[in-house]
Each structure stands twice: as structure tokens, then as C-alpha cells.
Amino acid sequence: MSQIGVPTIDFTRVVSKSGHHSTLARVYSSILLQLSTLPKPSADLIVWVGYHTSNSRTQIVTFWLEYYSLLLCDGIFETISTIALRKLFLTLQYESLPLLVLTWANPSIAQSSRVAALRHTEALFKALTKPESSANEWDFQLMFPLLLAVLCDPSEEIRFRAIACLRLVVSESRAERKGPVEIFGLSSMPDSTLGALKFLDMADFRRYTNSLFQYIDSIQLDAEAVARVHGEMLQPDETEPSKLTRYKQRVLSYLFSHACAWPNPNIRMAILESTSAVETASRLPLLYPLVIELSKNDPMELLVALQPPQRPIYVDRLLHAIKGINLSQVETDMNMVLPPLFAILKTYAEAPEEFVPLQGIVGTLHSLTNNLGEDHCLHLCRFILSLDESSSHQTALLQLLSAAIREDSVLSEILKQLQLDMVPERPSKRARTDR
């Protein structure tokens, strides 16, 4: 017998009875247990949560995710699974949490596995919040937006388990602080991301979480409730005190900074969905990095982690930061906003007809035409006319062109441009020759 209570491999039995089911079970069990003791990966949290990108650093993360999912399968002996999971968590230690996040934040993974991952997350939080577990006290603000994202999940069981984890986070934030406070997971974040992340002071965090938990029963019963609750809590009002408006802005800045920081479309999608009822001009500057990212990358590579029906919704939620906003009230220079939108429009125009994730860009630019100045409208018209004439989206592009030509002066300039393009080049005079 081994020290962990599981029989070791009897190699004489492997030779004499290699096909026997008990021999195979012993071999598989031993392999599963050995895998859980592989060295811990040296990967930061961004690599963990952005594992869907393909590079050598994320291969080990993909392996641990597949291994963890395998241990949660019904076909694995419960004793073997329990021992292997215990050894796995001892190996990964704090990196256990991002592994769990990858599991319960991914809607394509089996619900039973996601529920188990949330149970393990709850157990980990309980262990971390025990007074004897660490000399430091933990601040879980880095993890809160990730759990908040799951509150939009269609499964009530998933939301229930996420709320159980959030209760521990909120309870810890209410506790009296006696020692040094450390933001959990912050030391594992790369320097390039730390500068973009924003956090609330403890008073704002308590205020925000306490307000959210007043509606927690409704959130548990309805996947769309968290968006409505955020709309009531965070929607700016011109009649309210400026101090309250600044508080709402700080909370939105905190949430949107985490949406920008985590390179996982499922998490970004959920955060954008949970704040979709908040109409404010500040969405544009706060989410501008994601608009830039969408304009500079292959959309399919960027959205591959999302299920196909969610891809156009993600783009729409992102472009919602721009659609319908009075640009004269936004402090962002239009010369900075329009180029990425034009780049997205060009990608859309060149895509096949059945490619739908970027179709929201037409509606976004259409809604902007009433607020664009004459020069920008002219710029948009010229850009549309420069696109490939064989585009399968010609109808949508022509409708956008029509919306942009809302001034006679714009139409006049476009006609002049077309006339210049149509004038044939005059042939040069032939040289005289003596007869």
C-alpha cells in the first residue's frame, strides 16, 4: 500500500494479467495521482485566465484545466478523485483559484464541473479568511468582478454557488482590519496590467457590495437582475449631489478596468452585460482600450472563446459605449475615436455575408451621424466609397452612406470627388515629326 492509501502498481500483475479490468484501474489510478504532483507552472494570472490564446506559456494551463475537468468526471472513482484533487491543490496552492475561475467562468464546460469548481472556490475562501491561515488579511477586490460575472449565468444553481462565494468576500470586507491588508492575487499580476487596474478604497467597496446584496435574492432568481440592479445603483442623475456621482464613477471605473485587464472574452462579456443598463458618457473612455483591441486583431481569434451566438452580443455591448452618445459632451477627441471604428468597418466589409459578429459596427456609426460634424461626415463617406465594391454587405454600407450625407455641402463635396475620379486623364501631345 502507498502512503496515501491507494495500492501501488503490481508490475508482475501488469505482465501476467495486463488486460484485466482491475489491473487497468490500478494503472489509470496511479497515473492520475502522479500527474497531480507535476511542478507548479510559473504563469501569472493573466496567462491563466487568458489561456485560450495559443502560445507555449498557456499549454501548461490548458493541461491543468483538462486534468481538473477529468477528475470531476463521473467515471472516476470518488476515492481516487478526492486524493488527486487534494494533491493538485497542494501543488498549485494560490494558483488553484485561477484554475477554478477558468472552469466556472466558461459556459461551454459542463454545469456539474462548474458547480464543483465554485464549491472548491468557496472552500478556498473559507480557508483564506481563517485568522490562523495567514499573517496578512485579504482584500478580494481582484476576484470580485470575476464572481460578479457569473451572476449573469442562466443557471440558478451556478448563481447560487457564486453568491455563496461572494458572501465570504463581502463578509471579509466588513471585518475590522487589525493587520496589514493584501489584495489577493495582485502579486501574480504582470506589471503591464497593474497600471491599468483600478481598485476602490474599503469604504467605497463596502458601500457598493452592501448595496448590491440588498437585491441578492432577486439576482439569485433572475439572470438579468444584476444588470437592472446596476442600472438603479450606478446610473448618474443630474439632480443628485456631485459626491454621489463621483462615487458611481469610481465603481464603474473599477469594474470596467477589470473588463479591460482580463484577456478572457467570457469574463469581459459578463461584466459588460452586468453593466449594460448604465447609460453614461464615461463608458467610452473607460472601454476605449477594448475598442482599440477589436480594431487591431482578427475578430475570430479574439472571440474564439465565446460561443457563436454570444460573439455579436459582445461586440454590441462593447460598441454600446459609443452608440447614441452626444459626442460634444465626450472629452475624447473624435480624431482618436473614428479610426478604430473605421478599421472595424473595413473588417466587416471584407468579411463573408454569413459572418455576423461585427454587424453592430454599422448601427453604431449610423447612430453617430447625427452628432458628427461636416468634416467627419465627409471623411466617413469617403471611407465607405473606398471600400471594396464586391463586398457582400453592400446594402448595409449604402444605408450608412445615405445617413452620412445629411448636409447638401457633404453631398456636393462627394459629387465633386466622384467627378474628379471619373474624368479621364488627358493624353499628352504627340511630338511633331518632320516630314
Which residue numbers in the chain have pLDDT < 50? 1-7, 9, 11, 14-15, 51, 53, 331
Q: Which three cell numbers stand for residue 400?
A: 450608412
Q: At what angle do helices 56-71 and 78-92 cross, to 10 degrees?
A: 150
pLDDT at 1: 41
Which one-letter amino acid corresponds to residue 366?
H
pLDDT tens digits for range 236-255: 988 999 999 999 999 999 99
CA 51 to chain centre: 12
Place of cell 506559456: 57
Query: What's the pLDDT score for residue 87?
Result: 83
In sequence order, the β-bridge partners of residue 183 are 139
Q: What is the H or E stretch that residue 228 is in?
A: helix 225-234
Query: Strand 181-183 relative to strand 137-139: parallel, antiparallel, unpaired?
Result: parallel
CB–CB of 142/183 below 8 Å? yes
Q: What is the pLDDT at residue 327?
A: 57
DSSP string, 266-329: HHHHHHHHHTTT---TTHHHHHHHHHHHHHHS-HHHHSTTS-TTHHHHHHHHHHTTTTT--GGG
CB count within 10 Å of CB 176 equals 5
Position 197: which residue type?
A: L
Quickly count: other Cβ atoms within 10 Å of residue 258's Cβ: 24
Q: What is the pLDDT of residue 3?
A: 45
What region, left, alpha or beta, does residue 109 occupy, with left being phi > 0 and alpha being psi -120 to 50 degrees?
beta
pLDDT at 211: 93
Q: What's the rounded Cα separation, in Å, for the pair 184 and 54? A: 27
Looking at residue 48, what is its pLDDT? 54
pLDDT given at position 7: 46
pTM of the model: 0.79
Q: What residues have CB less than 8 Å from 64, skipping those under 6 apart?
A: 41, 88, 92, 99
Please list the alpha-helical segments (H only) found in 36-77.
Answer: 45-49, 56-71
Q: Which whole-number Å values give the CA distances from 133 to 96, 97, 127, 128, 130, in the listed order?
A: 16, 16, 7, 6, 5
Q: How many residues does the chain have?
A: 435
Residue 42 DSSP code: -
pLDDT in the model for residue 23: 59
Per residue in 206-237, pLDDT tens?
999 999 999 999 999 999 999 999 999 999 98
Query: How does DSSP assign 352-370, residue by residue?
Result: -TT--TTTHHHHHHHHHTT
**Residue 420, pLDDT score:** 57
Q: Which among 271, 156, 275, 267 has a CA at the least distance from the CA of 227?
A: 275
Mark out the alpha helices in 72-201 (DSSP H runs). 78-92, 96-104, 111-128, 144-150, 156-174, 191-194
